[in-house]
Amino acid sequence: MFVNKLPVILGFALFLTSCSGESQPMESEASAAPETELVTLSKEQFDYAGIELGKMEIREFHEKVRSTGVLDVPPGNIVSVHAYFGGYVKKIDLLPGERVRQGQLLFVLENPEYIPVQQEFLELQGQLAYLESDYERQKSLSEENVTARKNFLKAESEYKVAMARHASLKRQLELMNIDPDKLTSDNLVTTMNVYAPISGFVTEVDVFRGSFLDPADMALTITNTDHIHLELNVFERDLPKLAVGQPISFFTQDDPSKNYEAEVHLINKRVDPETRTVNIHGHLVDEKHAAWFSTGMYVEAEIYTNSSEKPALPEQAVVELDGSFYVLVQEKTASGTDYAFSMKAVKTGTLDHGYLEILNADAFSSDAVFMLKGAFNLIAE
């Protein structure tokens, strides 16, 4: 009768509830299992308890180096936006977190001091035609020995100085985002547009309408997250285990149950003298995940340094009793329709992704069937 087996099952429940879920190596010595009779269940009782059965599997176990760090982007993906010429902020409508495209208008500055640069450029541009003509005339006369060579050298000098000044003013106008080819005396402006140098997200805004922006002041920061990556810190004692190309599994604090994959791309050659850690640069395996992250997010990671295949059972299939570990193995019944289980001792090794390494797997036949799930539901009934 099922009632007669309840004390035995209850004993199993007591050590089932003590099975640890910590993700670190577990080792035990198999001891003699307590002498118990078989636990027999009818098919109805078995189905109602939600028990699952299965065989031992060959699983890949990894040696790991644990680390913590943050998500970051390369230095070239972060831009501090400045203005080459000072001015008062006339227009700005951006907020942190807003996406911008390369070449998009960010803000507008205004300053009457922009006009003299434009004026000088136009005046010099008008003089260039005369200076160039005089230079060519003096050159021709000098070659024919009609005029003194010093007149030619003076004309040449004035023309080249004007050309250099003209090129300088043209470049200044370009830095002010004023098209020198379209500039005329009728369209002189007192404003300067500042455009986005890269595409990305606005992460800082340090100016507001009416404030004066000096060339040395930062207006805002744009961060491009297309190539977000891992910056991990590993203790120096683990450095000999690491190599470029090793896989990384990591998770963020917002969802520790969801793991993402990366790989070691660079290993810093300098040990931090205070923390005794080394920086590890990791690349995401799937770049599309970059859109889900933000720079500065804290991560916890495991770097897989070595792997091997070993026999294993799900963690919940192995139960602990007085420091020893046991499994429930299905036995044949006389009726052939009921379910019977006996308790067997096992030696356990590493725990990896919910599976425990079984060190004494040879003690079980290849056809052995284990209770993988359902013991807690069974006890509840």
The reply to whether 1-73+227-381 and 75-107+196-224 are identical in fold is no
As to burial, measured by CB atoms within 10 angstroms (0-12 exposed, 13-18 middle, 19+ buried), residue 171 is exposed
Q: Supply the pLDDT for residue 377.
A: 53
Q: Kindly give, in sequence order, each residue whose CB lies less than 8 Å from that of residue 348, ignoring residues fewer than 6 positions away.
A: 26, 27, 28, 318, 325, 356, 357, 358, 359
Q: Supply the pLDDT for residue 315.
A: 87
Q: Determine what percent of the chain falls in helix, strand and coil, rounding each to the nearest 5.
A: 30, 35, 35
pLDDT digits (tens, 9 = 90+) for 290-337: 778 888 999 999 999 888 889 999 988 888 777 888 888 888 876 666
pLDDT digits (tens, 9 = 90+) for 149-187: 788 888 888 889 999 999 999 999 999 999 999 999 899
Q: Where are the domains of the chain?
A: 1-73+227-381, 75-107+196-224, 112-189
Give the C-alpha separation, 224 to 201, whole Å. Answer: 6
Q: Supply the pLDDT for residue 3.
A: 37
CATH, domain range 1-73+227-381: 2.40.30.170
Give the C-alpha separation, 93 to 50, whole Å. Answer: 60
Give the C-alpha separation, 180 to 108, whole Å. Answer: 18
State if pTM tops 0.75. no
Q: Kindly give, in sequence order, each residue whose CB lies less than 8 Å from that of residue 228, ignoring residues fewer than 6 positions away.
A: 71, 72, 73, 284, 290, 293, 295
Q: Supply the pLDDT for residue 232.
A: 96
* List of the chain residues with pLDDT < 70: 1-38, 146-148, 334-337, 374-381
Q: Supply the pLDDT for residue 380.
A: 34
From 2.40.50.100, 3.65.10.10, 2.60.40.2480, 1.10.10.10, which CATH number describes the 75-107+196-224 domain?
2.40.50.100
7 sits in which H/E element: helix 6-16
